[in-house]
Amino acid sequence: MIISIHHAQITIPKDREPEARDFYCRVLGLKEISKPETLQGRGGFWLQVGDSQVHVGIEDGVDRKLTKAHVAYEVNDLTHWRKTIIANGIEIFSGEPIPGYDRFEFRDPFGNRVEMIQKTVEQPR
């Protein structure tokens, strides 16, 4: 039985790790956590997101803009995140509606697709 998601991995080009750390830690406010010693020589870094993790790995020769693969971050203030992403010069895309949620998508500075999603309060009929 699968009980949860432990982590998701995204990748960035080898020479852009400082920029990725700035985007994910400063702009998105995610906390960097230590990687095990056995994996530290591979580059990249790990982030804590609630009870799960996002692993940022190094991978060259990949066009990340060609994939629908993505990480969806559930947030409690979608308006704040929309403003934050726009303020950092990143274009926002509307996603297809999902009942019970508001959301938007964007590509991080490395081409990875990212979704911000927030539960909506159901209105009485």
Domain limits, the chain:
7-119
pLDDT in single tens digits along all 125 residues of the chain: 877 788 999 999 999 999 999 999 999 999 999 999 999 888 999 999 999 999 999 999 999 988 889 999 999 999 999 999 999 999 999 878 899 999 999 999 999 999 999 999 764 55
Q: Are strands 113-119 and 70-74 parallel, antiparallel or unpaired?
A: parallel
CATH 3.40.50.10320 applies to domain 7-119: no
